Structure 1
Amino acid sequence: MTDPNTDSLVETIGASRGTDYFLMREQLSADETELMMKVRAFGDAEILPVAADYWERGDFPFELLPKLATLGIVGDTMEGYGITPMTAVGQGLVSYELGRIDGSVGTFLGVHVGLAMQSIYLLGSPEQRERWLPDMARLERIGAFALTEPEHGSDSVGLETTARRDGDGWVLRGRKRWPGNATWCDIIVVFARDESDGQVKAFVVEKDDPGYSASKIGGKVALRMVQNADIVLDDVRVGEDRRLQQCDSFADVSKVLMGTRNMVAWASTGHAVAAYEIALTYAQRRTQFGRPIARTQLIQSKLVEMLGDVTAMQLYCIRLGRLIDEGKLSDTMAALAKYFCSVRARHVCRLARDVLGGNGITLDFHVMRHLCDMEALVTYEGTAEMQSLIVGRDITGQSAFV
């Protein structure tokens, strides 16, 4: 009876072997492949060796930020302002590869780029884009996104944070919960309800604004490196120049959220790929009753089920990205992809944990880290249940939200 060597197992994880069963890479352009391999090499060399330690401590690896800045992976289909141009598939591959290594680093970048920067890009004026986006593209100023509130998660449309016009500015009052990066970011996009017309508006708050405070949420067992916060806005005063000029209703907020669900689908697939790689390698090396456990029917059945899910998720994501690039993506398509990929990725991680037996619960083998992180991905950017209701309403013509 032998245990696989954990160091050599990590090396095999880095090699990303045996997961492109339907030749997904043949669907990528040369630039997309180069981008994917660049992020993969960085993740294997810089993130994976420290991921378990930072995850266990619940700290963020700030020393990686300058190195991330040199990669040129701040894109997400935006153009100009020093942003790296890339296709939607290319940006998805960034999320995929970061998810394969560590969900917290991937979530940090997703919040900064897909939520904070995209909010400014989609909802801001040209002057506002020029004011904030170049520094954010260089990771010199970090952003966060505050929509969810203590009493409003899935029904974020009912947010209670208020914005009151006062002279040539606005006064923000309320509370937000869960924004990633919010304990240390430079700017945070805050959504609040205009007291005068009842519509949702967006504002850029800076970390040193009087009345703004953020305290770290402790006790998390998912995405432990991400510094989520409880935020208090106690009569925070901002000028009209910090109101994003193209946000006049919750429908405008939804434009941002549709893109992030695409990124969650890709990131979930990355987590699943990692879990499958680990389980396959472990099964081939772990010996019980005189033979590798990979020679048993039960283990092979689990591995094939995992591979089937991973392959389906990859195909979902490739098609999703191409639909975005072609301008054909609908919010219900994004919802279905987020639903399927996050739910199936969690299942794959659970199967991988089973394959590893007792070793599956240790951070040495990484699977439990991916499984715990998937519990967050199933929930954030719209729970799996909410995505099913969005798609269900579309295919039946009947709303079952309440």
Structure 2
Amino acid sequence: MSEHEPLGPLSPDFLESDFYGYQSMLDDSETEVVLRTRRFLQEEVAPRANEFWEKATSPVHLMPKIADLEIAGLGYAFKDPGRSAGSTPAEDRKASRKLLTGWLEMEFARVDPSTGTMFSVHSSLAMSSISILGSEEQRERWLPAMRRMEKIGAFGLSEPHGGSDVAGGLETTARLDGDHWILNGSKRWIGNATFADLTIVFAKDEADGEVKGFVVEQGFEGFRAEKIEGKYSLRAVENADIHLENCRVPVENKLAEANSFADTAKVLRLTRGGVAFQAVGVMMGAYERAVAYAREREQFGSPIASFQLISDLIARMTANITASLGMAIRVSELQDNGVHHDEHAALAKTFCTTRLREVVGWAREILGGNGILIEHDVIRFFADAEALYSYEGTAQINNLIVGRGVTGFSAFV
């Protein structure tokens, strides 16, 4: 290799942004799933990602093609006679299964964070809620169709007046009335809710004050989802305001194991680790475009990649991506080994999304004025990073979770 030849990826099947070659930690069958997904994203999503973003419309038409990848619900245990050999239940998979599901979230975010979020709300938040908190009958009732993406899920926890204090501040209520639960209240920022077939809604039981979980199906009387307009991050995710007005939910739709916020936290503990992978993917997307631009863009008679200031920024970006991916992978290992705690996911989420802000800022800086043009993609990643930085717990809230885990003392109000 000459001193002027770029390092490039470790092999044609590796990403240039995977500087340490972490992909080699996947086994052969997992690698095949990743490469199949990567090809789909490059062929079907990348050419239209900016169009989706500018129109602020979710690419729902891609759902059948995503279903063909057979990646929805990987890592969850449920019976499904139609499940392929490449999608075996969690108890039959080797310890790397969370690495695979996390890596897939990263692949989506690297191309289009909006499409990735649309998929992860369904496959991660909604399906994991039913898998973790549902009964065996409920898992068999809903998860097979969700795996085939014949039914799409949404996840309703956040509220108009409740964000960081959601653990104790839920205003949405549930009241048992014979063979139905009556739900009243509002939810905000609920991705997929405008078109979802099933929305997981968490509400405070008026009888005991505990948070319960419910599967609210499309068409239930008293349920209404209204798209939030004017959003400039993850624009192609159709976030909604949900209105519940005496919404009647059959008792069999109350998630059997969702009886307190501690139960709800079991879902968040897993999905926060997924956000770390998403953050790495957004970093990779912005980084790859910035590096390609630096190689081609000439100023003062030379490619800007040959300038010390640009090289310094690229090295910093490489370090952020490499360190963040290593942390996300370690969290996936802890999850699979059964020694994963809230503070582990919280640290990964806050660290990776903070580093994300740095990387997208440096990528935009490398592109100069062109960095604000959608045709170069970087401004889309720049804007989308802000949503990842905030959702599933702000940096400050996650830092408090980490501090509590380290010292044993809670600094929450």
TM-score by length of 1: 0.94
Q: Indicate yes or no: 2:43 matched with 1:45.
A: yes
**Corresponding residue for 1:8?**
none
Partner in structure 1 of residue 211 of structure 2: 200
User: What is the total number of aligned residue pairs between the two structures?
Assistant: 389
2:103 corresponds in structure 1 to 93
Q: Which amino acid aligns with 1:106?
A: G
Match for 1:400: what amino acid?
A
Tell me: CA distance 1:44–1:15, structure 2 relative to 1, closer, same or farther (3 Å). farther
Q: Distance in 1 between matches of 2:61 and 2:181?
A: 36
Partner of 1:277: 288
Matches of 2:373 and 2:254, distance apart in 1: 47
Deviation of 1:392 (Å):
1.2
Q: Structure 2 vs 1, CA of residues 236 and 17 (structure 1 numbering), >3 Å: closer, same or farther?
A: closer
* C-alpha displacement of 1:248: 0.9
Aligned equivalents of 1:168, 1:17: Cα separation in 2:
53
- The separation in 2 between residues aligned to 1:20 and 1:54, in whole angstroms, is 27
Q: Which of 20, 23, 33 lines up with 1:22 in the alignment?
A: 20
**Aligned-pair CA distance for 1:23:** 2.2
Whether the 8 Å CA contact 1:81–1:137 is kept in 2: the answer is no
Instruction: Give the partner amino acid of 1:25.
Output: Q
One-letter amino acid matched to 1:337: A
In structure 2, the residue corresponding to 1:377 is in which secondary structure? helix
Query: How much has 1:17 moved relative to structure 2?
Result: 4.7
Name stretches of at least 5 consecutive residues in structure 1 with no aligned partner.
1-13
Distance of aligned partners of 1:202 and 1:108 in 2 relative to their CA distance in 1, 3 Å threshold: same
Query: What is the CA–CA distance in structure 2 between the aligned matches of 1:394 and 1:330, rounded to whole Å?
Result: 9
Q: Is the 8 A contact 1:16 1:277 kept in 2?
A: no
- 8 A Cα contact 2:73 2:127, kept in partner: no
Matched residues in 2 for 1:81 and 1:51: separation? Answer: 35
Corresponding position of 2:160: 150
1:268 and 1:345 in contact (8 A); partners too: yes
CA separation in 1, counterparts of 2:141 and 2:245? 25
CA gap 1:15/1:289 in 2 versus in 1, 3 angstroms = farther
Q: Counterparts of 1:176-195 in structure 2 under 5 Å?
A: 176-195=187-206
Aligned to 1:355: 366
Shift of 1:398: 2.6
Q: Identify the match of residue 308 of structure 1 among 295, 299, 319.
A: 319
Render the CA deviation track for 1:81-105: whole Å, top value 9, x for unaligned: 4462360001011101001001111
Q: Residue 336 of structure 1: SS of its match in structure 2?
A: helix
Q: How far apart are 1:15 and its partner, in Å? A: 8.2
What SS is found at the alignment partner of 2:191? coil
Partner of 2:116: 106
**For 1:24-68, what per-residue CA distance to the aligned partner results, in whole angstroms no more than 9, with x for missing partners?**
122221122222211111110100000001101101112211110
Q: Does 1:133 align with 2:143?
A: yes
- 1-structure distance, mates of 2:356, 2:345: 16
Contact 1:117/1:143, CA 8 A, preserved across alignment? yes
| Identical-pair percentage | 48
Q: Which has the higher contact order (CA 8 A, sep 6+)?
A: 1
Is the aligned partner of 1:245 residue 2:243? no
8 Å CA contact 1:32, 1:89 repeated in 2:
no
Q: Which residue of 2 aligns with 1:115?
A: 125
Unpaired runs of at least 5, structure 2: 1-11
- Equivalent of 2:268, from 257, 264, 267? 257
Alpha-carbon shift at residue 16 of structure 1 (Å)? 6.7
2:43 partner letter: A
